[in-house]
C-alpha cells in the first residue's frame, strides 16, 4: 500500500471492529479516534468533550512523578490559602499549568498517528522471522516523540515493548522492528495491545488501546535425518514429468514447426489460428519420483513429540524432493492425492502440515487406497520411543 495522504482518511478508529489479516502480510491501518472529524461548526466542542470523556479504550494516567507534582501542588495550595501569599498562588498556578500543558501535548503527540502490523507469513518453527510495526505521522506541523507499543504473541506471558527512540517528522514514516521465533508449528496470533506516550514531561501517561491482530501459519521445523543406502531410493516405479522438452505425456508448450518434426505432433487448431505450423512440445520423463503419504491416526502416534517429529520429517523430505525435482504427489490420510508441480502446491501441503492433528483412524477412500498400491510410496511410522522412520514401499529408507 503506498503511503499517500489519501490513504489515511479512511483508517479505522480504536472503537471499530476487530481488524483481520490483510493481504501481503499487513493488517489495516489503525489510528487515534476521529469521531469528530468533519464536524466544522462544533468541532471545538467535540475536542473539549473528547478531553473530558475520552473514547473507549483511551486512558490518561498519572505517573509517579506526576503524583509527586500533584501532592506538591496540593500542599502549596493549602499553604497559599492559609497564608494568602501571592507567590504561593503563582507557584500553584505554574504547577497546574504544567500538568494541563503535559496532558495537551500528550494528546497532540498521538494525534493523527497511524500504525499497522507487518508479519510476513508463513513462519517456520525454530527460525527467526522479521516483524515490524509501521508508523506514519499524519500531522502537518508537529513531530511525534516518545511513543511505545506493547506487542504480544500467543503462548508468551511477557509483552514485548517497542519504543520510538527518534523523532518522527510530519508526514514521515518509520518502522519498529523485532524478531519472531515461534517454537511450535500451528497458528500463531500476533497482536498490538496498546500505544503509550509519556511526552513531554512524563507527568501523565496517555494510553490508547490497539486492536491490531494477525494470525499466521507456522510450518513444521526442518529436521536432520539419516538416509539409508541408495538402493532403497532407486526402486523402479512411477516416473516424474520434468519441465524440459521430451516425449513424456504432459503438454509443456507449443512451438514453431522445425524440419524433421513428426507430423503427429502438429497442433492443427493452433496452426490454423496463427497461420503457421505449430508443434506440441511435451515434458520429458525423468528419474523416479516419490509420493508422500502422511497418516495421522491417533493410535499410530500416541506420543505428541513423535507426531511433531513426523510432521517435521515429512515437511523436510517434501522440500528436499521438490528441490531435486522428484516429488510427484502428496497425500494426507484419506484425501485424494495432490500433484506437486509448482512451489504453490508444496506451500499448500506445508500449510496443511502446520494445522494437522492426530485424529481417529481415518477412512481410506478409493483415491488414497489406489495411491498406496503405487510404487515409490513413502510412509511414516514411529521408530522406537522417540524416533520416526520413513518407509519406501515397506523398506526402511530414512530415520529422524
- The string of DSSP codes covering 166-217 is S-B-TT-EEEEEEEE--SSSEEEEEEEEEEEE-TTTSSEEEEEEEEEEEEEE
Q: Tell me how far apart the alpha carbons of residues 389 and 131 are, in angstroms, rounded to a whole number.
A: 36
pLDDT of residue 37: 41
User: Per-residue pLDDT tens for 108-121?
Assistant: 888 888 888 888 87
Q: Tell me how far apart the alpha carbons of residues 144 and 163 are, in angstroms, rounded to a whole number.
A: 12
User: Per-residue pLDDT tens for 29-45?
Assistant: 776 644 434 444 456 66
Q: Tell me how far apart the alpha carbons of residues 360 and 364 are, in angstroms, rounded to a whole number.
A: 12
Number of C-beta neighbours around residue 307 at 10 A:
20
Helix-strand-coil split of the chain, %, nearest 5: 30, 35, 35
Q: Tell me how far apart the alpha carbons of residues 51 and 107 are, in angstroms, rounded to a whole number.
A: 9
Tell me how many helices (H) and strands (E) the chain has: 7, 19
User: Per-residue pLDDT tens for 198-244?
Assistant: 877 777 788 887 778 888 899 999 999 888 775 555 554 444 444 44
Number of C-beta neighbours around residue 97 at 10 A:
10
Q: Tell me how far apart the alpha carbons of residues 175 and 69 are, in angstroms, rounded to a whole number.
A: 35
User: Per-residue pLDDT tens for 292-316?
Assistant: 999 988 888 988 899 999 999 999 9
Please choose, from the candidates 353, 285, 287, 343, the residue with its C-alpha nearest in 3D space to the C-alpha of residue 319. 343
Contact (Cβ atoms closer than 8 angstroms) between residue 336 and residue 367: yes
Instruction: Give the pTM.
Output: 0.68
| Local structure of residue 222 (DSSP, 8 states) | P
User: Per-residue pLDDT tens for 335-347?
Assistant: 888 888 888 889 9
Amino acid at each position: 500500500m503506498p503511503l499517500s495522504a489519501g490513504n489515511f482518511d479512511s483508517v479505522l478508529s480504536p472503537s471499530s471492529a476487530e481488524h483481520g489479516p490483510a493481504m501481503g502480510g499487513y493488517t489495516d491501518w489503525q489510528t487515534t479516534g476521529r469521531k469528530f472529524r468533519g464536524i466544522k461548526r462544533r468541532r471545538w466542542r467535540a475536542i473539549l468533550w473528547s478531553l473530558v470523556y475520552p473514547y473507549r479504550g483511551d486512558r490518561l494516567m498519572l505517573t509517579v512523578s506526576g503524583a509527586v507534582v500533584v501532592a506538591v501542588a496540593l500542599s502549596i495550595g493549602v499553604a497559599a490559602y492559609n497564608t494568602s501569599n501571592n507567590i504561593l498562588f503563582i507557584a500553584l498556578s505554574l504547577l497546574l499549568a504544567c500538568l494541563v500543558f503535559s496532558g495537551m501535548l500528550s494528546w497532540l503527540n498521538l494525534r493523527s498517528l497511524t500504525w499497522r502490523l507487518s508479519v510476513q507469513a508463513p513462519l517456520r518453527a525454530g527460525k527467526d522471522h522479521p516483524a515490524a510495526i509501521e508508523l506514519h505521522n499524519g500531522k502537518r506541523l508537529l513531530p511525534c516523540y516518545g511513543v511505545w507499543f506493547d506487542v504480544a504473541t500467543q503462548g508468551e506471558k511477557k509483552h514485548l515493548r517497542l519504543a520510538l527512540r527518534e523523532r518522527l517528522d510530519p508526514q514521515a514514516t518509520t518502522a519498529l522492528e523485532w524478531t519472531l521465533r515461534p517454537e511450535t508449528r500451528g497458528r500463531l496470533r500476533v497482536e498490538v495491545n496498546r500505544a503509550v506516550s509519556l511526552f513531554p514531561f512524563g507527568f501523565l501517561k496517555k494510553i490508547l488501546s490497539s486492536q491490531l491482530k494477525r494470525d499466521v501459519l507456522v510450518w513444521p521445523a526442518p529436521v536432520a535425518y539419516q538416509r539409508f543406502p541408495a538402493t532403497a531410493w532407486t526402486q523402479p516405479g512411477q516416473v516424474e514429468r520434468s519441465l524440459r522438452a521430451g516425449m513424456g505425456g504432459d503438454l509443456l508448450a507449443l512451438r514453431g514447426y522445425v524440419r524433421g518434426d513428426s507430423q503427429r505432433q502438429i497442433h492443427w487448431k493452433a496452426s490454423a489460428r496463427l497461420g503457421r505450423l505449430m508443434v506440441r512440445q511435451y515434458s520429458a520423463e525423468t528419474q523416479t519420483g516419490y509420493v508422500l503419504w502422511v497418516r495421522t491416526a491417533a493410535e499410530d502416534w500416541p506420543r505428541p513429540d513423535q507426531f511433531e517429529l513426523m510432521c517435521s520429517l515429512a515437511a523436510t523430505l517434501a522440500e528436499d524432493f521438490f528441490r531435486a525435482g522428484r516429488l510427484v504427489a502428496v497425500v494426507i490420510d484419506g484425501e485424494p492425492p495432490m500433484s506437486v508441480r509448482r512451489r504453490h502446491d508444496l506451500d499448500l501441503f506445508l500449510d496443511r502440515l502446520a494445522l494437522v492433528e492426530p485424529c481417529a483412524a481415518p477412512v481410506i477412500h478409493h483415491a488414497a487406497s489406489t495411491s498406496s498400491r503405487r510404487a515409490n510410496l513413502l510412509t511414516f511410522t514411529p521408530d522406537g520411543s522417540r524416533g520416526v522412520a520413513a518407509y519406501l514401499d515397506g523398506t526402511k529408507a530414512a530415520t529422524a
